[in-house]
Amino acid sequence: MAKKILVLNGPNLNLLGKREPEVYGRQTLADIEAMIAARGAENGLSCDFFQSNGEGALIDKIHTCLTDYDGCIFNAGAYTHYSYAIRDAIASVEKPFIEVHMSNVHKREEFRHHSVISPVCAGVIAGFGADSYLLALEALAGILERGEKA
């Protein structure tokens, strides 16, 4: 049976392709999701996608990882830097999460340099544009193949 992965995107990522293309590129979220789904299928992974601008909706979706998913790729957007509620939700499901950022957050504004969710994620990938998601998919596939815990 294929492992099931959730690809979760937070605030403003619905605007990819339009929002600051010099930072995030011109690919839309739908383009990136299609790319992830194709690569996931090549690796025997079934991928579901969810995006919300709301913290509560993201937390509710994280909770579904308890029963519905084997792991998660998560670009929490600005919530990365201050949402302890999202951090606690990730910790509570005890599944591997890979934190993703399209831009190199360490080359940007100071407030982006700290993540409150990193300590409860299996790893962090940043700075490779849309390819950050593909790198996260490869990493998560390896974690699941090895049977590693969160």
Q: Which residues are catalytic?
A: 24, 101
Q: Angle formed by the axes of helices 131-146 and 29-42, to 10°?
A: 30
Whether the CB-CB separation of 29 and 130 falls below 8 Å is answered with no
Which helix (H) or strand (E) is 145 found in, with range?
helix 131-146
Between the two ends of the chain, the Cα-to-Cα distance in Å is: 20
Whether the CB-CB separation of 13 and 75 falls below 8 Å is answered with yes
